[in-house]
Amino acid sequence: MLNHSAVEANIPAADLDRVREYYSDKLGLTPVAEFGGEALRYRTANGTFFNVYKTQYAGQAAHTIAQWHVDDVDQEVQDLIAKGVVFEIYDMPGVEWNGSVATLPGMGKAAWFKDSEGNIMCVDQGAPSN
């Protein structure tokens, strides 16, 4: 069944050229494949994939679209801010904020930003082990 399958995110974008530039300049990512001006495919260094596809519905979700699990969220946020990424602060009960980084009780640290298309992205301190 599905537990033996890989899963990847599909991220909506209104403008693929704008996405390509933002993901390259701000996030340090380069597409590994392009699909006829309709989609871009990305691969992270640890082997996971995600796709960005052209649609008029980009940026409409009010929730996290994709999440990067990092070793040091504080450093990653500093590095991304230095490249011009703007982080979001959300009113979440019980969450302690230190600048742009939230400490979530029992869950670790996380920070959220919107990409060039208005999609909400997250960097967090490690993935749950189970």
DSSP 48-80: -EEEEEE-TTTT--SSEEEEEEES-HHHHHHHH
Alpha helices in 6-125, H assignment, sequence order: 16-25, 73-82
Q: What is the pLDDT of residues 56-96, one digit of tens each?
A: 999 999 999 999 999 999 999 999 999 999 999 999 998 99
pLDDT score of 4: 87
Q: Does residue 24 belong to any structural domain of this protein?
A: yes
**CATH (domain of 80):** 3.10.180.10
Identify the three-state secondary structure at position 105: coil
Quick one: tokens of 123?
Answer: 């960097």
- Which residues lie across from 34 on neighbouring strands? 40
Quick one: tokens of 64?
Answer: 């996290």
Q: Does residue 130 belong to any structural domain of this protein?
A: no
Nearest to 33 by CA among 11, 17, 46, 49: 49
User: How many domains does the structure of the chain reveal?
Assistant: 1
Q: What is the pLDDT of residues 14-67, one digit of tens each?
A: 999 999 999 999 999 999 999 999 999 999 998 899 999 999 999 999 999 999
The residue range of the domain holding 37 is 2-56+63-125
Identify the three-state secondary structure at position 128: coil
Better pLDDT: 30 or 3:
30
Residue 129, pLDDT above cutoff 70: no
Predicted TM-score (pTM) of this structure: 0.91
Q: Does residue 93 belong to any structural domain of this protein?
A: yes
Phi, psi of 23 (to 5 degrees): -65, -30
Q: Does residue 98 belong to any structural domain of this protein?
A: yes
pLDDT score of 116: 97
* 75 neighbors 100 (Cβ within 8 angstroms): no
